[in-house]
Structure 1
Amino acid sequence: MSEHLMQHLEPRPRLWLGSVEFSAFEPRNGRMQRHIQHRAALAYGYAGQYVSSARAHHELPVARQPLSEKALRETLQALGFRIATRQSKALPESAGDIFELPSDSAWLRFVLNDLPLLREQGWEIEYSDDFAFDLTPVDDWYAIVDEAPDRDWFDLELGIVINGERLSLLPILLNLLRTHPELLNPAQLARRRDDEQILVPIHSPQAHNKPKLMQVALPYGRLKPVLSTLGDFYLRDEPSETRLRLPTPDATRLNALKELPLSWEGGERLRGFAERLRDIRTQPTPPPADLAATLRPYQAEGLSWMQAMRELEVGGILADDMGLGKTLQTLAHLLCEKNAGRLDRPAMVVMPTSLIPNWQDEAQRFAPTLRVAALHGAGRKKHFDHLFDYDLLLTTYALLPKDLDALAKVPLHVLILDEAQYIKTPGSKAAQAARQLKARQRLCLSGTPLENHLGELWSLFHFLLPGWLGDAKAFNRDYRVPIEKHGDQERLQHLNARIKPFLLRRTKEQVATELPAKTEITHWVELNEAQRDVYETVRLAMDKKVREEINRKGVARSQIIILEALLKLRQVCCDLRLVNSATPPSRGGSSGKLASLMEIIEELLLEKRRILLFSQFTSMLGLIEQELQHRGIDYALLTGATKNRRVPVQDFQKGKVQIFLISLKAGGVGLNLTAADTVIHYDPWWNPAAEHQATDRAYRIGQEKPVFVYKLITRGTVEEKIQHLQLEKSALAAGILDGREAGDWKLAPEDIDALFEPLPGRKPRKR
């Protein structure tokens, strides 16, 4: 019969693809384990009949072409196939020459990339019923957003269209993440090429039959933005859910989906909100014309940020370093609101008691058109019936819970928490009271929004955007435990990405080029009640003594008595323990200024500032030492009693300590301390030249960082009076406190009256 065979008929290749699932004992873990094998069978078709290398067909009417068959085998081998050496039930042995690929990913690449080319070349392709890579094409991707203006949440459904049928990705990806949890790791996800695909099994619901299992290949290029932004939410939902419910502040997650070729339904307003939130720092707002200050570029950005947050009806944290002007930026924001006619109800700032005078001073200086009421002190309740007459209300964390019944009835335009870390404990009275106030916008100001643990940050956002970061239990589970206990950088990055639009932080280093070489800041302090009583007693006695001396000898010859009187009052302002006649009160109650100083120092240390702290009184430095020791803060000390000046200077310059305590006489001149970037004058130096000399220990040639100079001044006392004298009559002020000769200065009667004036709120007693 061989002489009748057709000699030149080329074989038509048939590739039969199949899979089999089975269980086998795994010695490594001692368990039965599920396996899936895939095989490809190559057969050669001659006149409608198929043969293989191992099995010939004895009645073929054509002559086989060994070289052509070899070329077909080599085609498969060039695609990564190798001859299968282990038996498998994926395909019958009669199916042809059995080949395999090394991995599932290789099979997926073959089916997606190479198989279509083989079809084009005339290969016949067959699938067994159980072939795992029998892929169903995806027709389209879609997104549905269900939102409403009166809701603080929205529903999001992402899905694919297969055979004209919509399928939500939520249950699909939930199952995928359970088998591939590494996909939630951004670093591992980033390693995947965008054109790489992952095989996903899908149950397609059908009306009359049981659900059909389909295989879909999803490209990583589309999955990356979905998984990186929404992956953690998928883990929390039940497989039966088809939509995600997200808080409105999480609308920024939609921005990552913008580049995907999605068919969107709904959500136009929300997507616009998300884009504005993403670009929130690039929307400039002109500063108000009646702001009595020129904003630096970063401060103008802060104003624009607060204005944009107000327009989007969300709150945020202005977390600039101390000294960068958070108060000024906030006052500019309030002026913008007033000038636009939106400040139709008062704004309120809640703050530590020590900051009340600073807010009063800066509001008067920078925003004099704002009507300000300080709800502070025994007479504060007289304002309660007239709160709507003011633009800005100032109160304290200590008084807010006590006055809550009255203040909670007042709808506010903006509610601002200054030094907002004061509500870091969510169960504290102040935190609970602050959350009960009603306001259109809430803002936090804090240079240290996170001091000890992430729970403090949660407490701030619980005030700003209640419920957004979940309850405390959920936040601990999703962020705090993974980040703090396990060092999970991915969860940290995820948290940072979520809070980024709502937190604006600039460090001194970041804005150094915008800062002047030296920034001077007056930090106002209130005397505590014990100090006020002693101050008034000393003032009355000294006032009488000075006037009697002047009446007898005249001003010029009464210099010693005047200096003695002023010295006593200045010591009361610093700390009652400096006044010999004063009985030392209980610890912490001897000085409002010392308490305020320690608050400042703790914040500066968190910012890693290097501090020079000057005082004219070595005994005051001793009291500051005690406070630092009590808090476990290391320091260097230089006074007239220091024998080896080089040691403390080197300790500070080399970074062994962050704080250097220096007395005026010992360290006012002759030191080069350019490691410092912060100078604090605990008690004012009335001679400007002497004060500048001390400041210049840090601010001098070789200093590469901007220097911040803080002057602590007690409100309403002789310190404030002589500061005014210093501005108006610098020679006179310098003479009073430097003990110059009488010819250098002359006190007018009104100067005497000013220096020995009663404290604000105290009625002058008869002399």
Structure 2
Amino acid sequence: MRDVDRIEPTPVPRMLQAPLRPYQRAGFDWLAFLWRHRLGGILADDMGLGKTVQTLALLAHARETGERRPFLVVAPTSVLPTWRAEAAKFAPELTVRLVQTTGRVSDPPGRDAPAADVVVTSYALLRLDEAAYAGVEWAGIILDEAQFVKNPATKLHKAVKALRADAVYAITGTPMENGLGELWAILSLTAPGLFPSARRFREEYIGPIEKGKVPENQEGAPYRAARLARLRRRIRPLVLAPHEGAGRRRACPRQEQRSWSSSLPRTVRSTTRRSQRERQKVLGLLDDLDRNRFIVFRSLTLLRLMSLAPALVDPVHARLPSAKLDALIDQLAELASEGHRALVFSQFTSFLQLAADRLQTAGIRHEYLDGSTRRRGDVIDAFRSGDAPVFLISLKAGGFGLTLTEADYVFLLDPWWNPAAEAQAVDRTHRIGQTRNVFVYKMIAAGTIEEKVVALQRAQGAPVPVGDG
């Protein structure tokens, strides 16, 4: 864990009813150190390794050392019940108030805030009731799943910036998903004076590190390396991210492999003409991508859908087989017969619905979760406590706030340009508490745009590490 060993240990709060693992203890010591100096920071620990427990330890520590103002925790709506349950389990002496309705139709969120140790609300409610939350003098702000505020141009980011607090802490496994600009956006909230100018940050770091823009009198690679080293030095005190594997080794191993499927000749003949037309359209529009961005994205989406099942693009192809779906059902049936349980992820809910229909036809019990699921908690509990061997989950709905160590297989049905999305899906089951090996299958349709996506992932390599060096 980097240099946190040099930080003076802080006594674990008396009210915390959870044994902290060594890396969690180091994270708590770091958070407590920042709090003593009223500094914000980013806890960018790996997913599933107890960031909530470390944060609750900080809140309990602040309470026991005399802080009487409330902390505000802002989280995705689906995660609010988790915060209440975790607080009741690990720090039951903390008074936690959950705000789940807008102040426009209910009590203003700040009215009872002084009587609570912790107020937990959603990003949506913060955005809607910005003035009410900004009117409270908070001790500190906790931004759970802080990637929600990675865009500084949004009203939500501005609402967070308007809050009054001694310090802001971002809790996220992915402080940077697509580029350094997202890291700057989160640091502008947690450490507003560190990089005050977005323009200068782009010129000094994003340009050379991501885009290879270097002065004419400098060599590219050495200059880029120097800029990256400087960035790491500057953020090191305020970003805690363990080396890869620091906590992973406490979970059982996982094995990943790609599973290739080839379409049947009949399917290929029926879709080749449409695929070629969409490819030519994309190639013809790339010269003016800014103007044609929407059309290009639509064509790429159609190509991806055809890789999954022709019926998703044109109902005329409803009877054409999907090689990927056939392979998936065969594997799930075999796993179910052997007593295994699997999570199945896709970005396309329409494809998940096709998978659900095929599972039902095959007599394989399953649960289903996407963004339209109203009783999300009930569906999750049904899988965790039931015996359905398959859980179909949309990537967007299941990318955070889930712990499903009951499963030991993960199927990723459609690769995407950003591997971080896939990593988040896998981490739903490969977490602390997993007692079995986890097997991950990335299903790829041969001869389709999915091969290009995989090649792009390889070309991109690993994301730029921001928390260690």
TM-score, length basis structure 1: 0.35
Counterpart selection for 1:335 from 60, 66, 69: 60
Assess if the C-alpha contact under 8 Å between 1:280 and 1:305 holds in 2.
no
1:510 maps to which residue?
A: 246
Q: Does 1:684 align with 2:383?
A: yes
1:299 and 1:325 in contact (8 A); partners too: yes
1:353 equivalent to 2:77? Answer: yes
Does the C-alpha gap of structure 1 residues 640 and 682 become closer, same or farther in structure 2, counting only changes over 3 Å?
A: farther
- Kindly state the Cα deviation for residue 506 of structure 1 after the two structures are TM-superposed: 2.6
Give the counterpart letter for 2:190 in structure 1.
Answer: L
> Does the 8 A contact of 2:140 with 2:168 survive in 1?
yes
In structure 2, how many angstroms separate the alpha carbons of the residues matched to 1:446 and 1:358?
15
Deviation string 1:371-395 (CA, Å, 9 cap, x unpaired) is 1111222565255322101110112
- Partners in 2 of 1:708 and 1:511 — Cα distance? 9
Amino acid at match of 1:490: A
Identity %: 34
- Relative contact order: is structure 1 or structure 2 higher (C-alpha 8 Å, sep ≥ 6)? 2
**Alpha-carbon separation, structure 1, partners of 2:142 and 2:46:** 17
One-letter code aligned to 1:491: R
CA contact (8 A) 1:667 1:694 kept: no
2:91 counterpart residue number: 367
Q: Distance in 1 between matches of 2:27 and 2:19?
A: 13
Q: 2 CA distance for matches of 1:640 and 1:421?
A: 31
1:451 corresponds in structure 2 to: 177
Distance 1:693 1:350 in 2: 25
- 1:91 maps to none
The residue correspondences of 1:181-260 to structure 2 (distance < 5 A) are none
Partner residue, 2:165: 439
Q: Which amino acid aligns with 1:363?
A: A
Change (3 A) 1:370 1:508: farther
Alpha-carbon distance in structure 2 between the residues aligned to 1:302 and 1:693: 23
1:324 is the counterpart of 2:49 = yes
Q: Which residue of 2 aligns with 1:421?
A: 147
Counterpart in 2 of 1:695? 407
Contact kept, 8 Å, 1:640 with 1:666, in 2: the verdict is: no
Matches within 5 A, 1:88-487: 282-342=7-67, 344-378=68-102, 380-381=106-107, 383-486=109-212
Query: What is the distance in 1 between the residues matched to 2:405 and 2:52?
Result: 29
The 2-side partners of 1:460 and 1:429 are apart by 14
Q: Secondary structure at the match of 1:452?
A: coil
Q: For structure 1, list consecutive stretches of 5 or more residues without a partner in the other structure.
A: 1-276, 520-621, 647-656, 669-679, 699-705, 712-767
Whether the aligned pair in 1 keeps the contact of 2:49 and 2:431 (CA below 8 Å) is no
* Structure 2 unmatched runs, 5+: 213-220, 255-304, 314-322, 335-344, 366-378, 391-403, 411-428, 435-469
SS of residue matched to 1:684: helix
Distance 1:282 1:481, change over 3 A: same
Asked whether the 8 Å contact 1:638–1:666 carries over to 2, the reply is no
Say if 1:485 and 1:337 are closer, same or farther in 2 by CA, change over 3 A: same
Distance 1:508 1:364, change over 3 A: farther
Distance 1:328 1:340 in 2: 18
Letter aligned with residue 248 of structure 2 = A
For residues 681 and 430 of structure 1, the distance between their equivalents in structure 2, rounded to whole angstroms, comes to 28
Pairwise CA distance, 1:307? 0.3
| Counterpart among 491, 498, 505 of residue 234 in structure 2 | 498
Q: Is the 8 A contact 2:133 2:163 kept in 1?
A: yes
**Partner Cα distance (1:385, 1:693) in 2:** 39
Q: Secondary structure at the match of 2:129?
A: helix
CA shift digits 1:3-23 (9 cap, x unpaired):
xxxxxxxxxxxxxxxxxxxxx
User: Are the equivalent residues in 2 in contact too, given 1:518–1:708 (CA < 8 A)?
Assistant: no
Contact 1:518-1:709 within 8 A present in 2 as well: no
| d(CA) in 1 for partners of 2:29, 2:331 | 54
Give the distance between the partners of 1:279 and 1:509, measured in 2 at CA.
Answer: 17
Q: Is 2:109–2:133's contact at 8 Å kept on the other side of the alignment?
A: no
In 2, are the aligned partners of 1:415 and 1:443 still within 8 Å (CA)?
yes
Q: Which has the higher strand share?
A: 1
Q: Is the 2:109–2:132 Cα contact (8 Å) retained in structure 1?
A: no
- The answer to whether the Cα contact below 8 Å between 1:345 and 1:413 also exists between their aligned partners in 2 is yes
Separation in structure 2 between the aligned mates of residue 473 and residue 410 of structure 1, nearest angstrom: 32
What do the CA deviations read for 1:677-708 (whole angstroms, capped 9, x no partner)?
Answer: xxx9795154469799973558xxxxxxx943
Deviation of 1:313 after TM superposition, in Å, equals 2.2
1:466 is displaced (CA, Å) by 1.4
Greater helix proportion: 2
Give the Cα–Cα distance (whole angstroms) in 2 for the partners of residues 287 and 477 of structure 1: 43
Could you tell me how far apart the structure 2 residues matched to 1:422 and 1:353 are? 12
Amino acid in structure 1 at the alignment position of 2:170: C
TM-score for both structures, normalised by structure 2: 0.55
**Residue 444 of structure 1: SS of its match in structure 2?**
strand
In structure 2, relative to structure 1, the CA distance for the partners of 1:642 and 1:481 (3 Å cut) is same
SS of aligned partner of 2:39: coil
What is the CA–CA distance in structure 1 between the aligned matches of 2:389 and 2:333, rounded to whole Å? 20
Distance in 2 between the 1:695 and 1:302 partners?
28
Structure 1 position 470, deviation (Å)? 3.1
Instruction: Describe the SS at the equivalent of 2:431.
Output: strand
